[in-house]
């Protein structure tokens, strides 16, 4: 019995990444663009039910229809998918579009325009889930910089978690604002308000950003001027890698719930850094032969990360590696063990054997071996610090705030999002500095905050964070 996943793609970025993901999935399962089987390997169809619903039509071949919902507050991107080569693949009633657009405004997606579509969306998702035998969970594709993906995506997450599906896995592929390349001015606001929701409501969040994708495309794949199609392909490879052991049989199976179980040591720290190997220049392919050890080393190399932060500045709490193709289990486990031993300072010592291994015998189309890794590293705090700095600079002067309050938002929500992100950064920092020995030590951290100073008292045993607001920064604090 397949453990099904429902795909929900929200906003322009979500729908464009989703389109590429389905193209890649069709190729892996031997299906054509109309959803008819054209392959020659029985393994391709054995578990196609994870992402596809089988529709048996009288007098013609079985059609495989994606279990997916496409949502946007303007109809441009969805119309393009409808009229494109994959137009006949999706069920016509799985598109839900508004007319006005969210105009890069998180509040429009979360409170006004997005909320109006909510009943229709939940009804459609309910239809998709009722047709499943054993629903594993949802994967949500969205960006955090815009209005629809960030605002409506966050609203969807909170509805799924609190009302509809509290016990199902919610996995998000979230495209974060890049450090240098900015598409919109209000990105820091939208991103931080979304992170505030993701911390509470998602089980796994895979952080992706365009700048890291541009780097991979230009430096490694040698694409001179990468288009969004090239970037979306890179993301799709990781997405296919993560779900591969659900879709194909293997020696060491892992599913999304197992991933979450092994990757998330503390409920709030579920932001993962994805990486993929091998990335190579197509011209150099004939000269390339990668061993399992090379693949493993490449997975933990900064150049192969899909997010712009440096793992050398943090420590790995946990990581999961997924190998595809003909890989011996002993070889994979030995390579991972050697990597951990050589770089022992990079891994926290209070979680022994913190890298899990999954093996799947089906390689990606056109390759003999490949690997995907998801790492839960404390270095991911760099992303939040970066966005928080930009957020604080604008919020101090209340710039652009009237657009949000005009849609019914309270400015307190901005302060809450800011302090929640500061707490998250403090938690990552606390676990980065923790050691296996300090049993009864009480940690004390001081965090700069706009309203004064926060002090985090953490009992090593209990692991609960307790914040006390002290006197303003200019007053001397007495121990």
Residues 369, 292: Cα–Cα separation, whole Å: 9
Q: At 184, is the secondary structure helix, strand, or coil?
A: coil
Instruction: Please tell me the predicted confidence (pLDDT) of residue 41.
Output: 86
Q: At 12, is the secondary structure helix, strand, or coil?
A: helix
User: Sign of torsion, CA 376 382 383 385?
Assistant: positive
Residues 355, 292: Cα–Cα separation, whole Å: 15
Q: Kindly report, residue by residue over 179-211, the tens digit of the pLDDT.
A: 777 778 999 999 999 999 999 999 999 999 888
The widest CA-to-CA distance across the chain, in whole angstroms, is 83
Q: At 428, is the secondary structure helix, strand, or coil?
A: helix
**Is the entire prediction scored with pTM above 0.85?**
yes
Matching residue, tokens 């091998």: 278
Q: At 452, is the secondary structure helix, strand, or coil?
A: strand
Q: Kindly report, residue by residue over 40-75, the tens digit of the pLDDT.
A: 888 888 888 999 999 988 777 889 999 999 999 998
Which token pair is 374? Answer: 């998801």
Q: Kindly report, residue by residue over 377-413, the tens digit of the pLDDT.
A: 999 999 999 999 999 999 999 999 999 999 989 999 9
Q: What is the DSSP letter of 305?
A: B
pLDDT greater than 50 at residue 265:
yes
Q: What is the DSSP letter of 374?
A: E
Instruction: Please tell me the predicted confidence (pLDDT) of residue 443.
Output: 52
Q: At 459, is the secondary structure helix, strand, or coil?
A: strand
Q: At 322, is the secondary structure helix, strand, or coil?
A: strand
Residues 315, 195: Cα–Cα separation, whole Å: 21
Q: What's the pLDDT band for 442 if we cut at 50, 70, 90?
A: low
Which token pair is 247? Answer: 């879709």
Instruction: Please tell me the predicted confidence (pLDDT) of residue 101.
Output: 85
Instruction: Please tell me the predicted confidence (pLDDT) of residue 254.
Output: 72
Which token pair is 272? Answer: 């993962």
Helix extents (H) in 291-409 = 292-299, 329-342, 381-396, 401-405
Phi-psi region of 325 (alpha: psi -120 to 50; beta: other; left: phi over 0): left
Whole-Å CA distances, 256 to 127, 239, 240, 403: 22, 12, 12, 38
Residues 138, 407: Cα–Cα separation, whole Å: 29
pLDDT greater than 90 at residue 330:
yes
In what order do the strands lie in the sheet containing 465-469?
442-449, 452-459, 465-469
Neighbouring CB atoms inside 10 A of 369's CB total: 19
């Amino acid at each position: 019995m397949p453990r099904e996943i429902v795909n929900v793609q929200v906003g322009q970025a979500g729908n464009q990444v989703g389109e590429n993901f389905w193209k890649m999935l069709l190729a892996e399962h031997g299906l054509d663009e109309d959803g008819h089987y054209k392959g020659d390997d029985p393994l391709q169809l054995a578990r196609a039910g994870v992402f596809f619903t089988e529709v048996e039509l009288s007098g013609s071949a079985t059609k495989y229809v994606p279990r997916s919902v496409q949502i946007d507050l303007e109809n441009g991107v969805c119309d393009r998918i409808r009229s494109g080569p994959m137009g006949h693949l999706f069920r016509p009633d799985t598109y839900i579009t508004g007319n006005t657009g969210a105009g890069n405004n998180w509040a429009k997606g979360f409170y006004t325009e997005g909320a109006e579509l909510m009943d229709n969306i939940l009804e459609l998702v309910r239809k998709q889930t009722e047709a499943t035998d054993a629903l594993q969970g949802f994967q949500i594709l969205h960006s955090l910089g815009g209005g629809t993906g960030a605002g409506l995506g966050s609203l969807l997450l909170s509805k799924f978690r609190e009302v509809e599906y509290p016990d199902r896995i919610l996995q998000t592929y979230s495209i974060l604002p890049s450090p240098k390349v900015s598409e919109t001015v209000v990105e820091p606001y939208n991103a931080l308000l979304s992170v505030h929701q993701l911390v509470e409501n998602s089980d796994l969040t895979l952080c992706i950003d365009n700048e890291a994708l541009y780097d991979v495309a230009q430096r490694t794949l040698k694409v001179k001027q990468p288009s969004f199609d090239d970037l979306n392909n890179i993301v799709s490879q990781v997405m296919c890698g993560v779900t591969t052991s659900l879709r194909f049989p293997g020696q060491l199976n892992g599913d999304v719930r197992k991933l979450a179980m092994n990757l998330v040591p503390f409920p709030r720290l579920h932001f993962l850094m994805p990486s993929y190997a091998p990335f190579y220049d197509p011209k150099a392919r004939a000269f390339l032969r990668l061993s399992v050890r090379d693949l493993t080393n490449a997975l933990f190399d900064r150049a192969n990360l899909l997010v712009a932060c440096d793992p050398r500045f943090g420590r790995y709490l946990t990581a999961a590696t997924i190998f595809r193709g003909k890989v011996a289990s002993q070889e994979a486990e030995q390579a991972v063990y050697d990597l951990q031993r050589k770089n022992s300072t990079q891994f926290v010592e209070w979680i022994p054997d913190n890298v899990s291994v999954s093996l799947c015998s089906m390689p990606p189309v056109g390759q003999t071996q490949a690997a995907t890794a998801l790492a839960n590293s404390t270095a991911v705090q760099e992303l939040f610090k970066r966005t928080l700095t930009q957020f604080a600079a604008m919020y101090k002067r209340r710039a652009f705030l009237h657009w949000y309050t005009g849609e019914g938002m309270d400015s307190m929500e901005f302060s809450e999002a800011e302090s929640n992100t500061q707490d998250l950064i403090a938690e990552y920092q606390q676990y980065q500095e923790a050691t296996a020995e300090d049993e009864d030590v009480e940690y004390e951290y001081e965090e700069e905050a706009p309203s004064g100073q926060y002090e985090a008292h953490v009992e090593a045993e209990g692991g609960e964070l307790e914040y006390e607001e002290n006197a303003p920064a200019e007053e001397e604090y007495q121990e």
